[in-house]
Amino acid sequence: MIAAASTSFGGVISYLTSASNWRGSSGFLERILQHFEYSAETLLIAVAIGLPLGLLSGHTGRGGAVLSMLSNASRALPTLGLLTIFAILIGVGLEAAVIPLIFLAVPSILVNTYVGIRDVDRSLVDAARGMGLRPWQVLFRIEIPVALPLIVLGLRTAALQVVSTATIAAYVGLGGLGRYIIDGQASRNFAELGAGGVLVAAFAIATESMFLVCQWFLVSPGVRARAYTS
Read off the pLDDT of residues 30-83 as tens digits, 9 standing for 90 and up. 999 999 999 999 999 999 999 999 999 988 888 777 777 777 777 677 777 777
**Residue 9, in any domain of the structure:** no
pLDDT band at 1 (very low <50, low <70, confident <90, very high): very low
Q: Is residue 1 part of a domain?
A: no
Using alpha carbons, select from 106, 75, 107, 78 the residue that is nearest to residue 171: 78
* 85: in domain: yes
CATH at 123 = 1.10.3720.10
Residue 69: inside a domain: yes
pLDDT at 198 exceeding the cut of 90: yes
What does the alpha-carbon distance between residue 197 and residue 202 come to, in Å, rounded to a whole number?
9
Asked whether residue 195 is domain-assigned, the answer is yes
Residue 171 in domain: yes
Q: How many structural domains is the chain composed of?
A: 1
Residue-range definition of the domain harbouring residue 37: 27-229
The predicted model gives 209-217 an average pLDDT of 89
> Does residue 116 form part of some domain?
yes
Residue 189 lies in a domain: yes
